[in-house]
Structure 1
Amino acid sequence: MRQFFLNVTRYPRYLVTFTLGVMNSVAKPLIQRFNNPITAVALIGALISGCISLSLVLRAMVYGVPMA
């Protein structure tokens, strides 16, 4: 039983390590793109529109969309 709980405690560390690795591999190329001002504006616009879209989808999922 001790071995079971030891294995279970390893999963959060694995999840954190995996998440940080993915974020690092995604963020590094994006940070390099900010040297060009046009690309930086496009990336910021894409980030803002993605956040707005995500919030609208989550709001529709939580509160429901009235049927017309």
Structure 2
Amino acid sequence: MKDFFENLLRFPRFLITVSLGIFFALWERFKPLVSNPVSAIALVGLVVGTFMFLTFTLQAMLGLSSV
């Protein structure tokens, strides 16, 4: 039974490791864009636009707003 719980506790560590790996890989890819102000503004606009799109889509799908 002890082995079962040790194995179960490995999954959160694996999830954190994979998430950080993806974050750092994406950060290395987008780091050159942040150095140019025009690209940085476009990148921020893209992130904000994506977040708003997902928010409005989920609100409409779940019926949380009167659209």
Structure 2 Cα separation of the partners of residues 15 and 45 of structure 1: 28
2 CA distance for matches of 1:27 and 1:63?
A: 35
- Corresponding residue for 1:12? 12
Identity across the alignment (%): 32
**Higher relative contact order structure (alpha carbons within 8 Å, sequence separation ≥ 6):** 2
| Runs of at least 4 residues off by over 4 Å | none
Structure 1 portions without partners, runs of 5+: none
Give the TM-score normalised by structure 1.
0.81
Q: CA deviation at 1:3?
A: 0.9
Which amino acid in the other structure matches residue 45 of structure 1?
A: G
| Alpha-carbon separation, structure 2, partners of 1:53 and 1:39 | 21
Unmatched 5+ stretches in structure 2: none
